[in-house]
Structure 1
Amino acid sequence: MRVDIDMDRVRTLIQSRDLSTLSLLVRQMSPAEIVASIESATSEDAAVIFRLLDKDVAVVVFDDLDTVAQADLINRLGHAPLTDVFANLDPDEQARLLDELPAKVAKRLLASFDGDELDATMELLGYPQGSVGRQMSSVAVHARPDARVGEVLGRVNRHPGDIDQLTVIPVISHDRIVLGTIDTIELMRHPSDAMVIDLMDDDPQMAGTEDNAERISRRLLDSGLLMVPVVDRERRLVGVLPITDAARIDKEAVAEDHARAGASEPLRRPYLATPVRVVARSRIVWLFVLAISAVLTVQVLEMFEATLTQLTALALFIPLVTGIGGNTGSQAATTVTRAMALGDIRIRDVVRVAFKEVRTGLTLGLLLAIAAFVLGSPFYGMDIGLVIALTLFLNCPIAATVGGVVPLVARYFRVDPAVFSTPFISTFCDASGLLVYFTVAITLLGL
């Protein structure tokens, strides 16, 4: 029988220290419901709930939790009570959890095991951050080209718990070179004495261990494939990336992109379960940066205070100038940051990116300038219309070029480009846009 999760009641029982009633409530929950309750609870409440679980249930629940929730539990409870459940994780899950833990906690947890117990996990940790090798799963079943269908299906049936990795079977040679793949459903459609070599796809898509995990995951999701073999430089099979892992990687990447596009660090737990101090800390740093750097915009306005006094109509268009400049820069930064995450652009491409954004900005500026002149001249006169048009034509390529180059500069200095770019570009484009605007106005209007 399914029990609805009443988190308000759970919190009340924890606050009142009525752990006996809470224990009875938790025992009525399925593992999936316990996972949902832990992931939606605060770190403190999650630790209390997990403490009440039987050992067998705790192993299942811990395995199903997301990596952030697992790390929170270890930080709260210490590594000793969770050594057994950690040992039951797959190597790729252990690697992700160790990445999430503070270095000291991770070292203490690793010290609880003998050196050879975590060989597979340590091998994954040896691959670069963000690479496919860091995220891949171990190979549950592979096939030889001279094997028969019945033999391969027999191996599949012996691994019922690895269903997400068994939708597609890698076909390898004796020295583990990937020769092809074969769909499990395809195997079931043929007699048991059919040969694998006659049924396999001999030109499969594959991923390298050092390929960008986000880019490969997106390619896997777009292609409709259920799994790709992961190979080393000699095309030897070292793991697989199933679609379930690809979907998780893509979801995490999208969440981070959305958070950082707003100059905020992404939250690592559900919003309602995240303490206010953590939410505030994720936002305050860049708000301070924006506040301090906004002084530059004020200084520009102060420089041209006399110009504004002589022709107050210029003030009406300040939001238009700064808004279009800021958005043009932000659009370029978002495009370039995304391309960097997918591995399409590298730091050495900075000149090509700048040249491309100059041309894009000129195109945008020309179109906006024509629209501004046509729409603005009848109401404010041709002189003001010309000032606005020329300002937009000059400002758009500046903003687009800065927006395209700044993420690459941030990456060069090892700063997260997604977080750094937005506040810097917003401030720079405001100041540069106003500088261009008033310079054009003074030149054309003779102020």
Structure 2
Amino acid sequence: MTTLTAKALQSAIDDGRLAFVGRELSQLAPQDAAAILDAMDEGDRTIAFRLLAKDDAVQVFDDLSSTAQAALISSLGTAEVADAFDHLDPDDRAELLDELPANVAKALIRSLSPAERETTAVVLGFRRGSVGRRMSPEFVHVFPDDDCRTAIERIKARGRHAETIYTVPVVDHQRRLIGVASLRDLLLSDPDTDVAEHTKAPIFAYAAEPAESAAQRCIDRSIMAMPVVDNEDRLLGVLTLDDAAEVVEAARDEDEARAGAREMLKTPYLQASTFAITRARVVWLFVLAISAILTVNVLEIFEGTLEQKVALALFIPLLTGIGGNTGSQAATTVTRALATDEVTTSDVVRVAGKEMSVGVTMGAALGVVGFLVAGLVYDIGIGTVIGLTILSVCTVAATVGGIMPLVARSIHVDPAVFSTPFISTFCDATGLIIYFSIAKAVLQI
């Protein structure tokens, strides 16, 4: 584990100790050097990258974030990074091209060899967010009627340029996926036995399906390389375990950001401009401000009720807080279940039923406590209102919070968008309506 930091390198660059910077970076593993460059300011990063030897630069560039790669290309120009760009895997290359201006992206594509241009075009042909966009079209496949000797020779001949060779797709002569074979099994078996004897049923993904769900399946089942096929089961590429981990981590970061009512920053916090941070937050604040008007309108509608029983106002924060938290808990749980394929949009009735029963159980427990405390401090009437409201709010909030992610998925919207911010605002407004309706019925006001 290196003790070298981005701040130390930036300080050395400021002091003009460029030889020290180049020497220190050259002694690091490419992943460690990339992590340090990612954390540096754009100008210092460009200087540090120039100090790397050509071969080191190619490897470090491969491990940089796509945002840092795009910034380097903008700073250095396409000619200086064309070699590093050519050495990227096609899926990483496609991700980088998404970050670049169109004219720069075209220039880089033109710098590729015809073969690399073709493999990149395969990945770019799928929509963003699909597993087809994250797969690698560079793989080695074998045929079931090959013997193990022939299969190993094929892997040796073509494996150098493949993304991985440890899990080998087995296809028929129309390139339709039949199964997968382990390189270990092929190497250790009798060379004269057929590949078919070592072929296992494949766990695969369709190229058009969301990358997050395919990646989660890959991780959950510890698949080294998941085959990716088209609608006719023809093999297109593979999603490797490390790429799947990147997809899941990026999706988790985005969900956490949206649950906190903001967009994810593409650069480290200290490097992000004031405008970038503001843009990541302000849109959500506008949405929440507009949504919060509903709460104000509800309070205005029941203003007369509050005037007759001022004590009711004291419990508003408690009830809205319980409703918002209950709804957010349900939404987060179901969003996670969607991501891991534990539920689908067709399970909406089952999810609603389960969350309703959970809401009733939690509401009953909390409602009893609310009834006792409010009844002792004020009177039985207030206690009854609080107890019934908590029971009702928990039931509604859990049910709505549980089905909203499913509704979002069905209309092709990120379920995280419907998590904490919107659920909380919805529960605030509906919770107040329930609260004052019960109060008017019980207290006859």
Q: TM-score, normalised by structure 2?
A: 0.86
Measured against aligned partners, the alpha-carbon deviations of 1:126-185 in whole angstroms (never above 9, x if no partner) come to 112222211111243222223232333344445675686211111222222222221111
Q: Which stretch of the first structure deviates more once superposed, 411-420 or 380-389?
A: 411-420
Partner of 1:240: 238
Match of 1:120 in 2: 119
Q: Secondary structure at the match of 1:165?
A: coil
Pick one of 360, 375, 382 that aligns with 2:369.
Answer: 375
Deviation at 1:67, TM superposition (A): 2.4
> Which residue does 2:443 correspond to in 1?
445
Aligned-pair distance for 1:253? Answer: 1.4
**Alignment-derived partner of residue 170 in structure 1:** 169
Contact 2:119-2:138 within 8 A present in 1 as well: no
CA contact (8 A) 1:263 1:420 kept: no
| Distance (Å, rounded) in 1 between the aligned partners of 2:365 and 2:196 | 63
Deviation string 1:318-365 (CA, Å, 9 cap, x unpaired) is: 22210122123323433554566567645xx6xx73x55654554344
1:90 aligned partner, one-letter code: D
Three-state SS of the structure 1 residue aligned to 2:139 is coil
Checking the alignment, whether the CA contact within 8 Å between 1:3 and 1:29 is kept in structure 2 is: yes
Counterpart residue number, 2:44? 45
Shift of 1:51: 2.0
Q: CA deviation at 1:263?
A: 1.3
> For 1:324-403, what aligned pairs fall within 5 Å after superposition?
324-335=322-333, 337-338=335-336, 345=344, 353=348, 359-360=353-354, 362-379=356-373, 380=375, 381-400=379-398, 402-403=400-401
CA gap of 1:383–1:367, structure 2 versus 1, over 3 A, is farther
SS for the counterpart of 1:198 is helix
5 Å-filtered alignment, 1:184-333, equals 184-201=183-200, 203-275=201-273, 277-333=275-331
Structure 1, 83-92 or 387-396: larger mean CA deviation = 387-396
Residue ranges of structure 2 left out of the alignment (5+ in a row)? none
| 1:407 and 1:418 in contact (8 A); partners too | yes
Look up the SS of the partner of 2:284 in the other structure: helix
Whichever residue aligns with residue 319 of structure 2, its letter is: V
Could you tell which deviates more after superposition, 86-95 or 162-171? 162-171
8 Å contact from structure 1 (residues 365, 392) kept in 2: no
Cα separation, 1, equivalents of 2:82 and 2:426 = 51
Offset at 1:410? 6.1
Measure the CA separation in 1 of the matches of 2:324 and 2:311: 21
Give the AA of the match of 1:8: K
Can you list the C-alpha shifts for 1:205-261, whole angstroms capped at 9, x where unaligned? Answer: 222222222112211211232222222222222211221221221121112111111
Q: Is the 8 A contact 1:372 1:385 kept in 2?
A: no
**In structure 2, distance between residues paired with 1:404 and 1:395:** 14
- Deviation, 1:372, is 4.1
- Is contact 1:361–1:398 with CA below 8 Å preserved after alignment? no
Say which SS state the counterpart of residue 227 (structure 2) adopts. Answer: strand
1:33 alignment counterpart: 32
Aligned to 1:83: 82
Q: Which moved more, 1:316-325 or 1:398-407?
A: 398-407
CA shift at 1:38, angstroms?
1.0
Structure 1 residues 338 and 129 mapped into 2: Cα distance closer, same or farther (>3 Å)?
Answer: farther
Moved more, 119-128 or 265-274: 265-274
Shift of 1:426: 2.0
Task: Report the count of equivalent residues.
Answer: 440
1:302/1:324 CA distance change after superposition, 3 Å: same
Structure 2: which amino acid aligns with 1:436?
Answer: I
| Cα drift, residue 445 of structure 1 | 0.4
Partner Cα distance (1:364, 1:32) in 2: 46
One-letter amino acid matched to 1:72: A
Give the RMSD, CA atoms, in angstroms: 3.2
**1: CA distance between counterparts of 2:26 and 2:366?**
67
Contact (CA 8 Å) 2:13, 2:21: kept in 1 or not?
Answer: yes
Q: Secondary structure at the match of 2:423?
A: helix
Report the Cα distance in structure 2 between the residues aligned to 1:115 and 1:69, rounded to whole angstroms.
26
Higher mean displacement: 304-313 or 32-41: 304-313
More off after superposition, 117-126 vs 404-413: 404-413
Q: Hey, what's the Cα distance between the residues in 1 that align with 2:370 and 2:323?
A: 18
Q: 1:193 to 1:368 in 2, by over 3 A?
A: closer
Moved more, 67-76 or 429-438: 67-76
- Does the 8 Å contact 1:50/1:58 carry over to 2? yes
> How far off its partner does 1:420 sit?
5.6
| CA distance in structure 1 between the aligned counterparts of 2:55 and 2:100, rounded to whole angstroms | 24
Map residues 30-179 of structure 1 onto 2, 5 A cutoff.
30-112=29-111, 118-158=117-157, 165-179=164-178
Contact kept in structure 1, 2:381 and 2:443, CA below 8 Å:
yes
Contiguous gaps of at least 5 residues in structure 1:
none
> Which moves more between the two structures, 360-369 or 261-270?
360-369
Write the distance in 2 (CA, Å) between the matches of 1:29 and 1:221: 29
**Distance across 2 between alignment mates of 1:367 and 1:327:** 15
Q: What's the counterpart of residue 180 of structure 2?
A: 181
Change (3 A) 1:33 1:22: same
CA contact (8 A) 1:206 1:230 kept: yes
- Give the share of equivalent positions with the same residue, in percent: 45
Q: Deviation at 1:270? A: 4.0
- Measured at CA, do residues 373 and 264 of structure 1 come closer, stay the same or move farther in structure 2, by a change above 3 Å? closer
